[in-house]
Amino acid sequence: MARAGLSTERLVRAGAELADEVGFGQVTVSALARRFDVQVASLYSHVKSSQDLKTRIALLALEELADRAADALAGRAGKDALVAFADVYRDYARAHPGRYTAARLRLDPETAATSAGVRHAQMTRAILRGYDLTEPDETHAVRMLGSVFHGFVDLELSGGFSHSAPDSQQSWTRVLDALDALLRNWPAPA
């Protein structure tokens, strides 16, 4: 019989596509085997388990996101950088909802430490260097930005803003305006 040419790499890529098509929750080893027209057990030579597959998809998504974010940040600073960075998240989530969901998978600490998640944190700090925050406020701001971006995108993705005016794009723009204003004028502890 001819071989299908499976590899961990190809499986993970196909898994990511599958996630975007049918939702990350529906990504199964079985579905992937069907896609390659191959017996389910065959995939277990390339992937340790269903969980392993999902983790690898998450890591792929994190890398793709970090790459795009790095591109977007090149040559930008201040609000320009903030908006470009934020838009990368939102656009990625809209274009690749399954991958984005995967990127939010809980990783165990050591996996997380060697993932592209680290680059995300570094880039967020790079943006904040355009504002005059000192520690520990910069850390608080890093966390706030992460919260807003993820929170907004999650809510938008799960339909929280649809069917209500104004459309979410307008809120996104105004929220980023507000964040920029806030960072330029970060308040002292109450």
| Interacting residues with its own copies (CB under 8 A) | 79, 104, 106, 109, 112, 136-137, 139-140, 143-144, 146-152, 154-155, 158-166, 168, 170-171, 173-175, 177-178, 180-182, 185-187, 189-190
Q: Which does 170 bind (CB under 5 to 8 A by kind): its own copies, DNA, none?
A: its own copies
2 near DNA, judged by CB under 7 A? yes
Number of residues that bind DNA (CB under 7 A): 23
Q: What is the DSSP letter of 159?
A: T
Q: Which residues contact 101 (CB under 8 A, 6 or more apart)?
A: 19, 23, 24, 25, 157
Q: Which does 17 bind (CB under 5 to 8 A by kind): its own copies, DNA, none?
A: none
Q: State the Cα–Cα distance between residues 143 and 148, nearest whole angstrom.
A: 9
Cα angle, residue 115 at apex, residues 52 and 64 outer, rounded to 5°: 90
Closest CB 56 distance from DNA, rounded Å: 13
41 near DNA, judged by CB under 7 A? yes
Q: Which two tokens stand for residue 80?
A: 């320009």
Q: Which does 95 bind (CB under 5 to 8 A by kind): DNA, its own copies, none?
A: none
What is each CA distance from 174 to 146, 165, 177, in whole angstroms? 17, 14, 5
Closest CB 38 distance from DNA, rounded Å: 4
Q: How far does CA 50 lie from the centroid of its chain?
A: 20
- Closer of 3 and 163 to its own copies (Cβ): 163
Is the distance from CB of 98 to CB of 54 less than 8 angstroms?
Answer: no
Catalog residues that contact DNA under the rule CB under 7 A: 1-7, 28-31, 38-42, 44-46, 48-51
